[in-house]
A and B are shown apart, each in its own frame.
Chain A
Amino acid sequence: MSELEIIRESLLNLEPEKLVESVKASLAKGVSPENIIDAITDALRVIGEKFERGELFLVHLVAAGEAAKNVISEYIEPLLKEKGRKSKIGRVVLGTVAGDIHDIGKNIVASMFFAAGFDVIDLGKDVPVQNFIEAVKKHKPNILGMSALLSTSLPAQREVIEALKKNNLREKVKVMVGGAPVTAEWAEEIGADGYAEDAVEAVRVALKLLGKEE
Chain B
Amino acid sequence: MPTRLKGGQISFLSREDIEKIHNSTLQILSEVGMKSSSKRIIDFFSENGAEVNQDTGSIKIPESLVKEALKKAPNKVTIYGRDKKKAIELEDKLIYFGLGGTPTPYILDHKTGEWRRPGKADVVNATRLGEALPEMDFIMTIAGAFDVPYQVEYIHEWEAILSNTTKPVVYSAPGVFNSEKVVQMGKAIKGEELEKEPPFGVYVELASPLLFTVSNENIFILAENKVPIVIGQMPQLGATAPVTIAGAAVVSNCENLAALTLAQLINPGSPFVFGAYMGPLDMRTARLDYGAPEFAMGNILVSRLAEHYGLPTFGFGGCSDSKLPDAQAGAEVMMNSLIASLSGINLIHDCGYLAGGSIGSLEMAVICNEVVSMVRRIIKGFKVDEETLALDVIREVGPGGHFLSHPHTLKHVSTLHLADLFSKESEVKWAKLGKKDVRRKAKERVDEILSRHEIEDKVLNEKLREIVKQAEKEMLRGD
Contacts and interface: CB of A to CB of B under 8 A. Distances in A.
Contact of B413 (A59, A67, A108): A59
Interface string B410-443: 1001000000000000101100000000000000
A210 interface: no
Contacts of B404: 58-59, 62-63, 104, 108
Contacts of B413: 57, 59
A63 B428 contact: no
A58 B405 CA distance: 9
Nearest to A61: B404
B432 to A, nearest CB: 10
Contacts of A89: none
A184 B426 CA distance: 12
Given A59-B405, A63-B404, A197 B426 contact: yes
B429 A197 contact: yes
B410 A59 contact: yes
A41 B426 CA distance: 26
Q: How large is the interface on B (under 10, 10 to 19, 20 to 34, 35 or more residues)?
A: under 10
A59 B409 contact: yes
Nearest to B405: A63
B410 A14 contact: yes
Nearest to B432: A197
A58 B424 CA distance: 13
B402 interface: yes
Contacts, number: 28
Interface in B424-472: 426, 428-429
Contacts of A104: 402, 404
Contacts of A60: 410
Contacts of B426: 197
Nearest to B426: A197
Contacts of A184: 428
Contacts of B405: 59, 62-63, 65-67
- Interface SS, A side: helix
Interface string B389-412: 000000000000010110001100
Interface in A58-94: 58-60, 62-63, 65-67
B429 to A, nearest CB: 6
Contacts of A66: 405
Nearest to A125: B400
A130 interface: no
Chain A, interface size category, equals 10 to 19
A197 B428 contact: yes
A104 B429 CA distance: 21
A183 interface: yes
Contacts of A67: 405
Interface in A82-116: 104, 107-108
Nearest to B420: A54
A166 to B, nearest CB: 31
A66 B409 CA distance: 14
B274 to A, nearest CB: 42
Contacts of A62: 402, 404-405
A145 B409 CA distance: 28
B448 to A, nearest CB: 16
A66 B428 CA distance: 27
A58 B410 CA distance: 10
A57 B429 CA distance: 16
- Looking at B402, B404, B410, B426, the one whose CB has the most chain A CB atoms below 10 A away is B404
Nearest to A52: B429
A57 B409 CA distance: 11
A48 to B, nearest CB: 15
Interface in A176-214: 183-184, 197
A43 to B, nearest CB: 16
Contacts of A107: 402
A198 to B, nearest CB: 8
A58 B409 CA distance: 11
A112 B426 CA distance: 20
A62 to B, nearest CB: 4
A49 B402 CA distance: 23
Contacts of B428: 183-184, 197
A57 B419 CA distance: 12
Nearest to B414: A57
B437 to A, nearest CB: 19
Nearest to A198: B426
23 contacts: A57-B413, A58-B404, A59-B404, A59-B405, A59-B409, A59-B410, A60-B410, A62-B404, A62-B405, A63-B404, A63-B405, A63-B409, A63-B410, A65-B405, A66-B405, A67-B405, A104-B402, A104-B404, A107-B402, A184-B428, A197-B426, A197-B428, A197-B429
Interface of B: 402, 404-405, 409-410, 413, 426, 428-429
A-B complex: 5 closest residue pairs judged by Cβ atoms: A63-B405, A62-B404, A62-B405, A66-B405, A104-B402
